[in-house]
Every structure is written in structure tokens, then in C-alpha cells.
Amino acid sequence: MSKDARLPSWRPGTTRDALTTFLDEVQEVPVERRVACFDNDGTLWCERPTYVQLDFFLDALRRRVAIDAAVAARPELAALLDGDRATIDAIGLPRIAMALAGLFEGLTPEEFGVEVRTFLGGASHPTLDRPTTTTVYQPMLELIAALRGLEFTVGIVTGGGTEFVRAISNDLYGVPAELVVGTPIAYHLTRGGDGAPEVRRGADLVGVPNEGSAKITNIQSQLGRRPILAAGNSSGDREMLEWTGGGAMPSLALLVDHDDAEREHAYTGRAETLGEPEPIGEVAARLGWTVVSIARDWATVFPDPSAPDATRRA
């Protein structure tokens, strides 16, 4: 397979050269060490103007309020429904996200997955004029396919809810549930009418959101292997990118730079829960990460929505 055939949506240049060099060199690495971890929002699909998970939660909230107006009395949810930006900022996204997650308390993971897939089956992106499921980045799908062709284990390591991403990870990226490491909701065991155990969603997290240092310890706990390739776009990915590789083998840390206001968005990635002690672009320059410029490096940003497998593994 020629280099161009592996990554057709990547423009020639230093970034694509770094990828193809890695793909060539990694064939000397033992297969069990071929692990790649990708952030999701802003790395594998569009996260602007709002996170897709927030759109999903908001849709669920509006439908719930239509049935039970009392739900709207909770301050976190009232601020959101009013679009009251100042109050939303004062409360903070993590607390609001937990209030929204509470709307699904008591569902089984399977029931929650159906809710997610039903929403995404009909959702369109608010500005990009395409189905939300086709706001995945075509060049990243190609990179994942190339890695998988080299027997890589490809995981998603996201600040989003684990179950939310699991509901779509196989269809969008070919990534099975066990390779999705996200912010974990607590599960509670109940007994059904027949006495059989059932798992149901709680309203609280296990630990902290999966951002920053937590991404490292959660990769170790859940996946058990350190990645030699990691990709991210925000300060929440910093530690994961710093941890990538290690030792003498080839490794690659990729930082997606959203610099294309024309075709996508132009902004600097920042984790909502972490602040930004050092701008992530400066960390990348200091540590020699490979920066992926959407404007410069990607010939195509999104898949053709009319292609039959536009929302499936490249």
C-alpha cells in the first residue's frame, strides 16, 4: 500500500510525513505494545458550537420538562433552559452536566444506549448543515484504519460520559465498548421482579471527570497498557500526550489545532474542568508534539454524507 493510499485526506507536508514515518517504524514494535488512544470531542469529531453530549442532554431535558414542568425548577437546569449564560458560567459545566445526567438515573445501560442512538439518528449539526454523525473527521478515520491495519488496539479516551460514547463508538469508529475510557457514572445493582440482578445508572460519578491526570490513571486501570500514539486537542489531553511512548520505541503525540474557521471552527482547546496553566499549543511546541493544522493538513475535513459508510469505520 502506498503512503498516499493510507492517508488520502491528509495533505503532503511535515505532519503527514510524521504520520507515515511512525506507521513505517512501528512495524518493529511488538504487537502488544501497539496501543493508540484518541480523545473524542474536538479530536475525532466536531465539538463546536456545543458538545454533542450537551445537545443530547438538552434535548432530553426539554422533552422531560414537557411532561413534568417541575424538573425545570432545579437551578442548574433552569439556567440552561433560560440560556442564562452568566448563571451557567457561575454554576460551571461539571455541575450542570451532573444535573443533566441525573435525568437518566435508574435506566439500564442498554436503555440509555437506545436513548443516545435515537437522538443521534435524527440530529443535525446546528451550523455545518450535515447529520451530526457525519461531523467525524475523515482524516482521523483514515488514521484509525491505518493503525488497525497494523494490528493496533485503538481506544477512545474522552472527558465525555463513558456510556454516551460507547453507544456510538462501534458505529462511528469501530471501537468496542471496552476500549472506551470516559467519565464514569456510578452503577447500582438492583434485583428485578424475578430476583435477577440488574445494573442501573446512578446520579453520581465514580471519581472525577476523565480529564488531565485522570486520563493516565484511567487508561492504566481500564486498558492496562500505555499508548505509543495519542491524539488530543485540549488542556484535558495534556498529561495523556506527555505520557505517550516512553522508552526507546517510536511514539507520536498529536495535537489537533482548530484553525479553520472556514470549514470547521477556529479556537483553542481548553478543558472545562482544568483551566489552562500553560496554553496547550505552547506545551506542544516545548515538548515537540506533532501539531495537526486542520486548515493546512486536511484536504477533506468531513466524510461525504451521501457515502454509504460515511458514519462507519473508514
Contact residues for its own copies, defined by CB under 8 A:
32, 109-110, 153, 155, 162-163, 166, 170, 176-180, 184, 187-189, 196-197, 199, 206, 213, 216-217, 220-226, 239, 242-243, 246
CA angle 133, 48, 234 (to 5 degrees): 105
As measured in angstroms, the least distance from the Cβ of 217 to its own copies is: 5
Q: Quote the cell numbers at residue 276.
A: 489552562
CB 47 within 8 A of CB 269: no
CB nearer to its own copies: pick between 91 and 250: 250
As measured in angstroms, the least distance from the Cβ of 117 to its own copies is: 13
What is the b/e burial string over 224-256, where b = at least 16 CB atoms within 10 angstroms of the residue's CB?
A: eebbbbbbbbbbbbbbbbebbbeeeebbbbbbb
Q: How far is the CA of 251 from the CAs of 1, 28, 97, 228, in angstroms?
A: 22, 12, 34, 5
Using alpha carbons, select from 226, 244, 227 the residue that is nearest to residue 283. 244
Instruction: Look at residue 270 and give its three-state secondary structure.
Output: coil
CB nearer to its own copies: pick between 90 and 285: 285
> Dihedral of CA 251/41/91/202: which sign?
negative
As measured in angstroms, the least distance from the Cβ of 123 to its own copies is: 22
Beta pairing, strands 290-293 & 185-191: unpaired
CB nearer to its own copies: pick between 108 and 300: 108
As measured in angstroms, the least distance from the Cβ of 177 to its own copies is: 3
As measured in angstroms, the least distance from the Cβ of 109 to its own copies is: 6
Q: Quote the cell numbers at residue 195.
A: 430476583
CB nearer to its own copies: pick between 103 and 223: 223
CB nearer to its own copies: pick between 60 and 223: 223
CB nearer to its own copies: pick between 261 and 287: 287
As measured in angstroms, the least distance from the Cβ of 249 to its own copies is: 12
Rounded CA separation 155/36 (Å): 6
CB nearer to its own copies: pick between 148 and 226: 226
As measured in angstroms, the least distance from the Cβ of 42 to its own copies is: 22
